[in-house]
Amino acid sequence: MSYKLEKLNYNYNSLEPFFDEETMIIHHTKHHQNYINNTNNIIKETDEKLFKIPTKILINKLNFFPKEKRKKLKNNLGGHINHKIWWKGLKKNTNINIDFKKIIEKEFFSVENFKNLFTQEAINKFGSGWIWLIKNKKNKLKITSTSNQDTPLTQDEYPIIGLDIWEHAYYLKFRNDKINYIKNFWNVINWEEAFNKFIKK
């Protein structure tokens, strides 16, 4: 048993011209694959039975692992979990439906204002990490961020939308222009998936 890199349900060039094919290929087959390989190695070295535990439980049970391996597991299993959310959260030409629009408006006044706040959080985030729209236990929506490959699932929050702001997600195409990358993200955000995530939890 081990984790395997899932195929995307779209082509690497499907998000052009907003997200480029080369970045998508490297991001998926190299970066995500690397998080999976490292996670597999740590689990194999520790106890293969741990593969049977769902990832979102395992990431909250780092004490199952020897002390010196916990940080490496947190980074790599976190990377695997976050990137699974990432690929599913991308699709061109989706629209926010009326129900989800109302939910966003209730929390953030308007969809435009939500996008601005989320964008601002991403611009202000220093270093590598992720920007999230999460739903907490009280059913409240909140914009938040995590550093490195920390995942909001560890904080008992459920991610609805995620934005990868590691340089590997944009540097080939956008170079240092993180703001332009974020602008393009809004053209490939998968609103259907976000709404599905919202109602599922």
State the residues that interact with Mn ion by CB under 5 A.
164, 166, 169
How many whole angstroms separate alpha carbon 123 and alpha carbon 44? 38
Nearest to Mn ion of 164, 193 (CB atom): 164
Nearest to Mn ion of 29, 113 (CB atom): 29
Nearest to Mn ion of 79, 119 (CB atom): 79
Cβ at position 86, least distance to Mn ion in Å: 7
Cβ at position 23, least distance to Mn ion in Å: 10
Nearest to Mn ion of 79, 194 (CB atom): 79
Question: What are the DSSP calls for 88-143, one per residue?
Answer: HTB-TT----HHHHHHHHHHHSSHHHHHHHHHHHHHH--SSEEEEEEE-TTS-EEE
Three-state DSSP class for residue 146: strand
Cβ at position 161, least distance to Mn ion in Å: 15
Contact 48, 40 (CB under 8 A): no
Cβ at position 164, least distance to Mn ion in Å: 4
Contact 194, 133 (CB under 8 A): yes
Amino acid letter, 79: G
Nearest to Mn ion of 170, 195 (CB atom): 170
Cβ at position 79, least distance to Mn ion in Å: 7
Cβ at position 19, least distance to Mn ion in Å: 12
Nearest to Mn ion of 3, 64 (CB atom): 3
Contact 100, 194 (CB under 8 A): yes
Count Cβ atoms below 10 Å from residue 11 Cβ, excluding itself.
10
Nearest to 92 by CA among 196, 179, 192: 192
Question: Which single residue brings its beta carbon nearest to Mn ion?
Answer: 164
Three-state DSSP class for residue 165: coil
